[in-house]
Structure 1
Amino acid sequence: MSGNSRIVKGIGLFFLVLGVLAIATAAIMFFGAPAADLDIEDGVQIAQLYAVILAVSGVFQLATGFIGMRAAKHAKLLKPFVFLCAIIVVLNLSQIGITIRAGEGEIWQNLIYAATAFSGVIFASRAMKDQNLS
């Protein structure tokens, strides 16, 4: 396994761990929302809606991580991994733009996530190039 493939595997592991954490957090949020004392109207439904959105995001991250870890050994999975990482980069950069335009909120999490996904694109592309030259 080349150095680029090892980095792809590490980035895949990063996304896999984030996906599991997001799904676990979404489950806690969804089932814990009725017990929370929310002072806004329909607060429980809003919290559960955000939990579902977080769960969908977590499943996407989990799939990206799984494909990334498999792509380190199977060259045919490198293209789908690049595509999924590119989607993550675009979504995080758009979220950064929305946050900046709103004038409130923090963007450092999105910057780290976008940088990691962009690194996944770069190293998976290099691994594809290595596979083609060998």
Structure 2
Amino acid sequence: MNELDSIKRVNRILVQIAENQDQLERLNELDNKVASNRQELDSSYIKIPLTKRRLFDDLGIIKHNVPTLLERDRQLVGSYNKLLKQFKELAAFIDEEIDQLAADNGIAVTGNCFDKLSQIVKALNIGERPYIPD
């Protein structure tokens, strides 16, 4: 494999890893939103003493904000699951790309994607070189 092609592939992998990290940050934000929505939803219920049961309120009537909170929860969980699926797919793709790059250059790598990529960069001796655009 050409040395320039290897450098370009490493750069593309690094960009994909940055995108994956952005998705992870968005997942964490969504997780916090889901947790705060659930906490608000739980506070709108009334706990029955000495049981694990909850009611909507004293009369069994749904409070005005409960349907809105339930709908928001459904939307947040749906967005979270969709983003989680994309995150896992991109992480698997990045791992495959790194393994393919290592195989193309005949380098044995172990560890997580960052360890593997650093081993490839050391083996190819491209850590000190400047960025070469496409």
Greater helix share, 1 or 2?
1
Shared fold per TM-score greater than 0.5: no
- Structure with the greater alpha carbon radius of gyration: 2
TM-score bracket, shorter-length normalisation: 0.3 to 0.5
